[in-house]
């Protein structure tokens, strides 16, 4: 018995020593690594790592993160350690930054010292040439092309297409219970397709893209391996098929001699005209395809989750909903009761609705944080960020900090009557990688709200207080909602009794 006890003690002591040695080595490796790239101060000898805990060897604090709501994890760390703290997640030492100044330091002022970082398996799935994996010259030139297809003129021209997509989404929901998130995913996919292909894509191709894209999505967060039958393997196969469809579309456009002025056209023309000073093409067809898939990926779930939250927030705030309805009724009158299409100018006249969108972006903070990796040892406010460490600006913590947004858990669009303090409102990020699709996303939301509140009523089915991560936060089960046209009478079981068609497309 005594022998057994001694053995157990020895094992425990041995494990503790191994853990400590491993931890100390990792910490020293983190502290010692790295050169000092251009344009920043060499960390002073007195600089120290930020406060925080690194958890267990290898595992770090990954289990704590995944065993609770991630927002609670970050918020409790911030409460304990302040606005900059360290932790260890998914095998990487990380520094978390929860202040507006620190987010600006990483994303804007010293952006060249922090490169975008994604797991290799995810890069392969989206396409390694997609712009958000890059920085420097290639990223800048690509970004200009993408921004060109998302600029004010392009968006103005897209309003009728966005309106048609919104009308079709609501019409197919009418009289039924649907997951709001799934309905909004379809909408944002359709809008993404119109922006990329300029409304010139035939239904067969669209169906092929939709089918394969949804298989890619399913495998995106699965364990990466090449075993046939696994979600990851299926996703990689679907990704190859997507690339094939895109290559066919590019070839046909080239044969017709009409690349087009949509996103695909902008990217293709840079390739065929030779974007480089020396005449070399900027993008191969494969790189164009990576970027098309990347934009679809960046556009869909983000926009769909915010739209889902908007439906919930409006539902939960009846007085606000009435005020929004009144604002939108005036717009509807201006469109002759919906007989004429919405225009860009109409969407610019929706002041209250716009504030509802900003407040939804703040409250929901669907992109809670982003990742960068330090490319050199960097010092920030006396703290050392070692080369190779991940750096995470925590958007949600900033958006929910009462120092910047009074009573932060209250849904109150009127707070946006005054512009937020600089760098405190970052739903679309900041700096060189800030979201180029933000105006398109807001346009989609304005048009959706217009038709939703002027033409429909809706009720939430079941409880909507729990949140699930998909991976963005959305209400449980995607917010099941029964929706019906305003001038229909619907009994509680969802049976309709009359219908007056009021929409003239
Ligand atoms: C409500 C909807 C959206 C939200 C909340 C959102 C949020 C963001 C954020 C926070 C970033 C920066 C990430 C970082 O710095 O690491 C970003 C980047 C990006 N977004 Fe969005 N986005 C939305 C919709 C869209 C749409 C509709 C598109 C395309 C039409 C789009 C395309 C992109 C692209 C291409 C990037 C990468 C930019 C770069 O690396 O230069 N996003 N988005």
In order of their start, the domains of the chain are 33-120+368-399 (3.30.43.20)
What is the pLDDT confidence band of residue 278, given thresholds at 50, 70 and 90? Answer: low
Atom of ligand 1 nearest to the CA of 150: 30
Residue 305 is encoded by which pair of tokens?
């989750």
pLDDT on residue 222? 86
Enumerate the β-bridge partners of residue 480: 179
What is the pLDDT confidence band of residue 463, given thresholds at 50, 70 and 90? Answer: confident
- Identify the weakest region by mean pLDDT among 3-17, 35-49, 179-193, 368-382: 3-17
Place of tokens 């750096």: 391
Atom of ligand 1 nearest to the CA of 116: 16
Atom of ligand 1 nearest to the CA of 139: 41
Least Cα distance to 266 among 286, 240, 292 occurs for 292
Bigger pLDDT: 218 or 353? 353
> What share of the chain has pLDDT > 70, as a percent?
86
Counting Cβ atoms within 10 Å, is residue 410 exposed (0-12), middle (13-18) or buried (19+)? exposed
Tell me the best of 437, 447, 471 to mutate to test the pocket of ligand 1, counting ligand atoms within 8 Å of each CB and taking the most. 437
Place of tokens 């679809």: 296
Q: Which residues are annotated as a binding site for heme?
A: 435
Q: What is the mean pLDDT of residues 459-484?
A: 92
Whether the predicted pLDDT of 443 surpasses 80 = yes
Whether the predicted pLDDT of 14 surpasses 50 = no
Tell me the best of 161, 302, 309 to mutate to test the pocket of ligand 1, counting ligand atoms within 8 Å of each CB and taking the most. 302
The CA–CA distances, whole Å, from 361 to 50, 70, 377, 416, 427 equal: 30, 18, 33, 12, 6
Q: Are strands 390-393 and 92-97 parallel, antiparallel or unpaired?
A: parallel
Q: What is the mean pLDDT of residues 191-200?
A: 92
pLDDT on residue 46? 74
Hey, CA dihedral for 286, 291, 297, 299, is it positive or negative? negative
Whether the predicted pLDDT of 24 surpasses 50 = no
Whether the predicted pLDDT of 284 surpasses 50 = yes
Using DSSP's 3-state secondary structure scheme, residue 502 falls into coil
pLDDT on residue 5? 43
User: Ligand 1 pocket: which residues have CB below 6 Å?
Assistant: 131-132, 143, 146, 150, 195, 295, 298-299, 302-303, 306, 366-367, 370, 427-429, 433-437, 440-441
Whether the predicted pLDDT of 437 surpasses 50 = yes
Atom of ligand 1 nearest to the CA of 431: 15
What is the pLDDT confidence band of residue 44, given thresholds at 50, 70 and 90? Answer: confident
């Amino acid at each position: 018995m005594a022998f057994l006890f001694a053995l157990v003690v020895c094992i425990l002591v041995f494990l503790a020593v191994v853990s400590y040695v491993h931890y100390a080595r990792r910490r020293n490796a983190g502290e010692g690594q790295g050169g000092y790239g251009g344009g920043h101060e060499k960390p002073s000898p007195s600089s120290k790592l930020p406060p925080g805990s690194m958890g267990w060897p290898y595992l770090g604090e990954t289990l704590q993160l995944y065993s609770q709501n991630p927002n609670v994890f970050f918020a409790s760390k911030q409460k304990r350690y302040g606005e900059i703290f360290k932790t260890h997640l998914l095998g990487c030492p990380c520094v978390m930054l929860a202040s507006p100044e620190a987010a600006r330091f990483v994303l804007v002022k010293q952006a060249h010292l922090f490169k975008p970082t994604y797991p290799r398996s995810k890069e392969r799935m989206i396409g390694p040439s997609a712009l958000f994996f890059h920085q420097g010259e290639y990223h800048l030139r690509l970004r200009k092309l993408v921004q060109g297809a998302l600029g004010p003129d392009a968006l103005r021209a897209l309003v009728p297409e966005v309106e048609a997509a919104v009308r079709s989404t609501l019409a197919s929901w009418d009289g039924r219970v649907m997951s709001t998130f799934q309905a909004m995913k379809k909408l944002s996919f359709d809008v993404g397709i119109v922006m990329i292909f300029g409304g010139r894509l035939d239904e067969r191709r669209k169906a092929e893209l939709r089918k394969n894209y949804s298989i890619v999505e399913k495998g995106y967060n699965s364990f990466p391996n090449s075993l046939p039958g696994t979600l990851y393997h299926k996703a990689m196969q679907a990704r190859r098929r997507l690339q094939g469809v895109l290559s066919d579309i590019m070839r046909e456009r080239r044969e017709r001699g009409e690349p087009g002025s949509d996103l695909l056209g902008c990217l293709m023309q840079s390739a065929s005209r030779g974007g480089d000073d020396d005449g070399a093409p900027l993008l191969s067809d494969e790189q164009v395809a990576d970027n098309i898939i990347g934009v679809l990926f960046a556009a869909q779930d983000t926009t769909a989750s915010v739209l889902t939250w908007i439906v919930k927030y409006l539902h939960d705030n009846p007085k606000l909903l009435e005020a929004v309805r009144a604002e939108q009724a005036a717009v509807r009158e201006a469109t002759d009761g919906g007989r004429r299409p919405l225009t860009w100018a109409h969407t610019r006249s929706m002041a209250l609705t716009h504030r509802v969108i900003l407040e939804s972006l703040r409250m929901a903070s669907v992109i809670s944080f982003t990742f960068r990796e330090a490319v050199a040892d960097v010092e920030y406010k006396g703290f050392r960020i070692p080369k190779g460490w991940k750096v995470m600006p925590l958007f949600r913590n900033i958006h929910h900090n009462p120092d910047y947004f009074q009573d932060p858990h209250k849904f109150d669009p009127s707070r946006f009557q005054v512009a937020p303090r600089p760098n405190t409102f970052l739903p679309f990020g900041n700096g060189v990688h800030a979201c180029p699709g933000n105006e398109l996303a807001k346009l989609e939301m304005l048009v959706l709200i217009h038709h939703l509140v002027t033409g429909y009523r809706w009720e939430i089915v079941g409880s909507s207080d729990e949140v699930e991560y998909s991976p963005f936060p959305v209400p449980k089960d995607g917010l099941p909602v029964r929706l019906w046209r305003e001038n229909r009478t619907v009994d509680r079981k969802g049976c309709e009794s009359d219908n007056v068609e009021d929409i003239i497309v």
